[in-house]
Amino acid sequence: MAKIIPPLTEFQVKNAKPRQKSYKLFDGGGLYVEVMPSGSRIWRMKFRQSNGKENTLTFGPYPEISIMVAREKRTEARRLQLQGIDPGKYRDDARRLAAEKASNTFEKIAREWYANKVPTWSERTSKNMLQRLEADIFPRIGDRPITEIRHRELIATLRKIEERGATEIAHRLKAVCSQIFSYAIQCGLADRNLVVDMKDVLKTKRVSHFAAIDADELPVFLDTLARNEARMFEPTRIALRLMLLVFVRTSELIETPWSEVDLENGEWIIPWQRMKRGKLTVNPDTTNHHVCLSRQALALLRQLHTITGRGTYLFPNQRDHDKPLSNNTLLVALARMGYKGRMTGHGFRALAMSTIKERLGYRHEVVDRQLAHAPKDKVASAYDRAQFLAERRKMMQEWADYLEAVERGDTPKPGHHGSLELVWPAPRR
């Protein structure tokens, strides 16, 4: 007959005195408190594994673990045994899962996701992405296990960004967080993407594009540029005119060294390493970009060469000629012309793209190739491999002639090639 062990009392456990060696006070059902020589009291439980071997579970010290809690833990262990589950293995698995959960923080997983994505981004995108995460996301939820983050935490994090007026950034980071959760799910580290259920938690963002004038505003813009009441330096004025004529990206223009321009043969070729898609770490576009100079653009470059041709860059910085012109200089110039918020460097590309397609009737594949756009699908990629150089040269000359006709006050005709060389400034009407 099994020995009946009377349950321990609070008085017995609390007043158990230490001895030279540790000893046990049993509570029944395998539960006991071990009194250590130091005076500490530890709750433990003896049990037999399915193979008959004896094992011990440790529940924790008294009084942190009370008699009631210790007995609850005993009951839970016996319940597991009845289900054929080893309480010791169950405990070890729980500890391992807890450790894994604690280590799989949002920041840790986000940095893994970032490391996988970096090769597909430009250096600028990579830098901006990490800065945004470190500034706005990691300080609030970065140390939280990704499985324990709740909707209200993520919403509060995003709304904090929104409250400072950065609505666009809040929406972008919301999308980024969605990608991070999706990555965690694919890696088996999370079961749910919280962002999926957060469609309307942020203020509706106003869809905006780069500010750009339309074709009907060109006469006034060209007139304002020619009169130069904004008192711009001549290179700055030429830069704006070239942006209109060749519509390369602002960085591609202002960072151009004279070594890339062949005035004698009328060629301007930008090496692929300087192009946006050429800066990708994975699958960079290694195609050099032919700017395709019209007579008018070439005339401007020759004029510019008399001013800055002895230096490195087409458009050197006014304070340090060893550095290129800043993008802000062009924005300030546009603002002084009265086009603040109405025109940007990228706006020249948007203006050219829409006008050439709509009014000059060129195929989008040809225009997009001159813009050096990334292909959006496989069909576009196939087109993109073609240079269309002959068609692009014709298009760029027609575009320059179109602008010249507008500036003269004529009605431009698609396909019409003017015969006049551009005079700077343009003849007054």
Q: Is 46 helix (H, G, I), strand (E, B) or coil?
A: strand
Judging by DSSP bridges, how do beta strands 267-270 and 289-290 pair with one another? Answer: antiparallel
Q: Active-site residue 231, yes or no? A: no
- Check 117, 336, 383, 393 and give the catalytic one: 383
Phi, psi of 257 (to 5 degrees): -85, 155
User: What span, in angstroms and rounded, lies between the C-alpha atoms of 403 and 424?
Assistant: 13
Q: Active-site residue 276, yes or no? A: yes
E-strand ranges in 201-323 read: 261-262, 267-270, 289-290
Judged on CB neighbours under 10 Å (0-12, 13-18, 19+), 26 is middle
- Check 41, 73, 276, 290 and give the catalytic one: 276
Give the closest residue to 155 by CA, choosing from 187, 198, 113, 189: 198
Q: What residues have CB less than 8 Å from 24, skipping those under 6 apart?
A: 32, 33, 34, 35
User: What span, in angstroms and rounded, lies between the C-alpha atoms of 394 and 398?
Assistant: 6
- Check 71, 249, 290, 369 and give the catalytic one: 249
> Do 198 and 154 meet the contact criterion of CB atoms below 8 Å apart?
yes
Give the closest residue to 403 by CA, choosing from 219, 272, 238: 219
- Check 349, 362, 369, 402 and give the catalytic one: 349
| One-character DSSP codes across 108-152 | HHHHHHHHHHGGGS-HHHHHHHHHHIIIIIHHHHTTSBTTT--HH
Q: Active-site residue 383, yes or no? A: yes
Q: Active-site residue 249, yes or no? A: yes
User: What span, in angstroms and rounded, lies between the C-alpha atoms of 260 and 271?
Assistant: 8
Q: Active-site residue 124, yes or no? A: no
- Check 44, 336, 373, 394 and give the catalytic one: 373
Judging by DSSP bridges, how do beta strands 23-28 and 267-270 pair with one another? Answer: unpaired
Phi, psi of 55 (to 5 degrees): -140, 165
Q: Active-site residue 183, yes or no? A: no
Phi-psi region of 359 (alpha: psi -120 to 50; beta: other; left: phi over 0): alpha
Overall size of the chain counted in residues: 429
User: What span, in angstroms and rounded, lies between the C-alpha atoms of 413 and 420?
Assistant: 15
Give the closest residue to 178 by CA, choosing from 154, 159, 153: 154
Buried-state track 81-104, b at ≥16 Cβ within 10 A, e below 16: beeeebbbebbeeeeeeeeeeeeb
Positions marked active-site: 249, 276, 346, 349, 373, 383
